[in-house]
Amino acid sequence: MRQRAVYDLADLADPEFFAELETGIGLCVANATRIMADVAVLAKDGRYQAARILQNVANEETAKAMILMDAVRCPRAPKEVLVRQLKYFAQHLPKGLYVCVAEGRPCSFAEVQGRIERERKQYYLDGPDGGEFAVCNYILSAREQAMYVDYIVADESKWWHDPVTHHLLVFGPDDFRPGGIFRMVSALHAAGCFSAAALATIADLWRCVTVDGAMTIHELRDLNEATLRALDAKGLLKAAGREAFGLIVNECPFPLHPLDLTQEKVNKEALLEQRSWPGYT
């Protein structure tokens, strides 16, 4: 038995590929929806740490749905790119990057590329005075610090990290409303975009699209609208309401399949030599 073997889907012919993705995406959406319902209950009860942990899990589950959607929008050749995209399904950093990108409003794919390059680094400079410490990858550390006690060493400073006092923990029910990626996946699901037939139609339109730094937000929105029109022409678009359609057209994010979403290793010693804080010059 092999777990986390979703990349095996790259070996399937399109009809079976789309059928499997319909099942997998549907399970991700249903699981995220159940978890977010529990988040709302916990937040209302003031149990904010548990609510934050579960909210992170729900976001990761919806990110998995978008990872599979991008596997549909990804060309099948070269196969290595599709396999890489499918492997992101089981990796925390790529899922976190999808959540991060969904919260932004980029003007171009080049802007997305720049943000991904920054957010996937193993270490970066930060600290109370701007840049005196080599800090671990923010997406991965924020995920863990919401859950786990840890002992942290930063130069001469040492301390215990307590998740209860973690700066990402928030203190009001309104802070646990569904975020951008959850709202987007819910809208796509409500519109019928995740059926096997809809995924096949999306693939026909998107696989021939070159997604690179030259693509603008206006081109993306035109493609999003063309996608909904193609689904509607085939009777595949559900009456999900104008709000869902508008959200998809205006905010459905750029595909991330052209990008490397794995962690970029950083030489910690070389990074520390770049510190610009006056105490280190």
The mean pLDDT of the chain is: 91
Q: 45-86, pLDDT tens digit by residue?
A: 988 889 989 999 999 999 999 999 999 999 999 999 999 999
* Contact call for residues 147 and 200 (beta carbons, < 8 A): no
User: What's the confidence (pLDDT) of residue 276?
Assistant: 62
Interior CA angle at 237 toward 235 and 240, to 5°? 140
pLDDT of 274 reads 78
Cα gap 169→175, rounded to integer Å:
9
E strand or H helix at 157:
strand 157-161
- Interaxial angle between packed helices 14-44 and 48-73, expressed in degrees from 0 to 180 and rounded to the nearest 10: 160
Helix or strand or coil: residue 133? strand
The tens digit of pLDDT for each residue in 168-191 reads 556 677 788 888 999 999 999 999
Q: Spell out the domain ranges in the chain.
A: 6-116+171-251, 123-170+263-280
Whole-number pLDDT of residue 204:
97
DSSP per-residue codes, 263-277: PBP--HHHHHTT--S
